[in-house]
Structure 1
């Protein structure tokens, strides 16, 4: 066969993709295969000296090529495509379809490490920490605070407080300055005495949730300062040293741990979304209240704020995956939420609502419209826009919303 001519197997892959409205070329398939992103066709030998043939094209090859075609465009780094593919692996893009296959784990690890290196916020933070001795404490505080300002937090105010303000027709209070991370960085660079036991305890409770509250962390720190608990002192020093070294857990994680971290992160996203939307008047049910209680009982609301975004970029997704690696507290929260959801899956059930999940969403949109004056008009304007969009594109919105909380519709065969 002439060089560059597509094999019969690749021609079949292209035909199957074309039937889905996806256009790929033979050179793209070969390029992805050469980069280790696309499986090679399984071949059957014909006997000594007679070569081999591809009897059947593996559906995984076709589905993997479809995933790459969705995310990889000319001029775009392949590692971004791998991250987006990793985020959707296992999910059905349309009802009744098989789940998206997993990308090669080696490619995922490479993409996660690359994301950690190129993320501008990570580089800025590492530069600041590396030069902390020259900059001094005040300059470090200013630099890290500016870094956090460029990525505003959505969850510094508890959703119950936001909801109460909106219902009272008041503007929700702004969150307090996000000082926890600043204190953590300062302690890593200059020692725990730089910020004091109480401030460091608050920060440790947020970013190292080892089943300890801020009060318990403060007791540990004071015991360490007095030399009464060498083990506690060693723990604090290790955690701060890890932060100062800015090493990613991706490199030392096993393949299974990387996949588990992805599962936990994406599993927490819808729970956190429902948790935060309580502040924007999402209709409440006993099931939703129980899920919020799980998050609050674990003291993880602020932690989730730092690592979960409603519409994450590939780099932010990679940041979240890294945060969920080898984190027993995060894993425990995920398991507790899944257990609570299994015990009460009817989280969208409202009295008198016979339209199921879509009826629940329509009630929410109407509630938002009714509270136009609240929050300086912000909640109402959001509700009005979304409600009008809902009426114009009901089928498309249904698909989008089901994808977001598809786990909640498992009884309909949706993942």
Structure 2
């Protein structure tokens, strides 16, 4: 074969991908191999001095190239494609669909660290750390920098679904979403120290996240009592440990990263059921029990911050990293156990039509709400 000529195996890969509607070139295949994303064809030796030959194209090469072709749109960073690939490989596929191969874990780790360094939370922490030790001036400088970052990257937040549902049913004003300034207070405590932020600001932070339904003054009193030794002590070391976003990824084994992916993806449907309660979805004992598992742990605001139903690769990286923590793994297991104990999530009492009747009831509720809104408007 002439030097530089494409191998028959690569031509076969390109042909198979073309049959799937994908255009891939020989140079792309070689570029993906050099980046460690695509294996080379397995070759069989022909004997001493006779070289080697590819007997047949490895299906793993075709499958890997197909995933990369799907996710590497023109101009997209290759590390974003790796994260999208890793997410797709862990997402349940419809019956009969081909299994998505796993990307190389070394590439996954590299992509995770790169995405985390560019995340809003990491940049906020960097700003807090750079202001450490500068007293009031440093604190003011951090809040100024944080304000600019939040303005450039608006934070998605939602009010508790039970409050949203109540407002819709009573024709009241919708509750305000959590103030992103609460997250800034927490980041300041991580980077500068809780003592620099103070109980009032931290109380505002916990309240803005809707934690356990307590207000800012309630939280401030609890934290002040802890400072005076009149209440349970607060382990601020845990807050400082959570400031290390890269360490957990570097320390986690491959199986731990795969498990965190399972948790991050597995929490999505539970989060959807939780939030849809605010959009007048019919309630059932099974749904109420799932929401209770989330609310009794005060995890609703955290899920709202982390879990996206169709997350970008960067959002997926942050969620996966958070799901390395035991409390999110425990929540996922509790929700899975609850769903197994009472699987009649979409079964309305007295209705034998199952999910179909459930959806009809939901559509009817939305239609009635829309009609009522038009009448009052």
> How high is the TM-score relative to the length of structure 2?
0.83
Q: How many residues align?
A: 364
Say yes or no: does 1:330 pair with 2:334.
Answer: no
Say yes or no: does 1:126 pair with 2:126.
Answer: yes
| Partner-residue secondary structure (3-state), 1:271 | helix
Misfit runs of 4+, over 6 Å: 204-207, 214-221
Structure 2 CA distance for partners of 1:347 and 1:99, relative to 1, 3 Å: farther
Say yes or no: does 1:167 pair with 2:169.
Answer: yes
Partner residue in 1 for 2:58: 58
> Displacement, 1:120?
5.4
Structure 2 CA distance for partners of 1:90 and 1:125, relative to 1, 3 Å: closer
Partner residue in 2 for 1:78: 78
Taking the aligned partners of 1:240 and 1:126, their CA distance within structure 2 comes to 13
Q: Kindly provide the CA deviation profile for residues 164-220 of structure 1, in whole angstroms up to 9, marking residues without a partner as x.
A: 11122233211242444222223234432334447647857999x9xxxx9999879
Deviates more, 1:264-273 or 1:281-290: 281-290
Partner residue in 1 for 2:294: 295
- After TM superposition, the structure 1 = structure 2 runs for residues 83-98 of structure 1, keeping only pairs within 5 Å, are 83-91=83-91, 93-98=93-98
Partner residue in 1 for 2:189: 187
Partner residue in 1 for 2:14: 14
Does the CA-based 8 Å contact 2:36-2:107 persist in structure 1? yes
Structure 1: 5+ residue stretches without partners: 378-415
> Displacement, 1:42?
2.2
> Displacement, 1:44?
2.4
Partner residue in 2 for 1:371: 369
> How high is the TM-score relative to the length of structure 1?
0.76
Partner residue in 2 for 1:404: none
Partner residue in 1 for 2:269: 270
Does the CA-based 8 Å contact 2:87-2:261 persist in structure 1? yes
Taking the aligned partners of 2:50 and 2:164, their CA distance within structure 1 comes to 72
Partner residue in 2 for 1:391: none
Taking the aligned partners of 1:194 and 1:315, their CA distance within structure 2 comes to 31
- After TM superposition, the structure 1 = structure 2 runs for residues 98-117 of structure 1, keeping only pairs within 5 Å, are 98-117=98-117
Taking the aligned partners of 2:129 and 2:316, their CA distance within structure 1 comes to 23
> Displacement, 1:97?
1.2
Partner residue in 2 for 1:35: 35
> Displacement, 1:309?
2.1
| Partner-residue secondary structure (3-state), 1:97 | coil
| Partner-residue secondary structure (3-state), 2:251 | coil
Does the CA-based 8 Å contact 1:116-1:248 persist in structure 2? no
Structure 2 CA distance for partners of 1:242 and 1:290, relative to 1, 3 Å: closer
Taking the aligned partners of 1:252 and 1:27, their CA distance within structure 2 comes to 35
- After TM superposition, the structure 1 = structure 2 runs for residues 312-351 of structure 1, keeping only pairs within 5 Å, are 312-325=311-324, 327-350=325-348
Does the CA-based 8 Å contact 1:93-1:99 persist in structure 2? yes
Taking the aligned partners of 2:322 and 2:87, their CA distance within structure 1 comes to 15
> Displacement, 1:362?
5.1
> Displacement, 1:79?
0.5
Taking the aligned partners of 1:33 and 1:278, their CA distance within structure 2 comes to 47
Taking the aligned partners of 2:75 and 2:264, their CA distance within structure 1 comes to 29
Partner residue in 2 for 1:286: 285
Structure 2 CA distance for partners of 1:45 and 1:126, relative to 1, 3 Å: same
Does the CA-based 8 Å contact 2:266-2:332 persist in structure 1? yes
Taking the aligned partners of 1:148 and 1:365, their CA distance within structure 2 comes to 36
Structure 2 CA distance for partners of 1:48 and 1:265, relative to 1, 3 Å: same
Corresponding residue to 1:154 among 144, 154, 157: 157
> Displacement, 1:161?
1.2
Q: Kindly provide the CA deviation profile for residues 308-364 of structure 1, in whole angstroms up to 9, marking residues without a partner as x.
A: 123322111111111122x1111100111111112222322345464x656644543
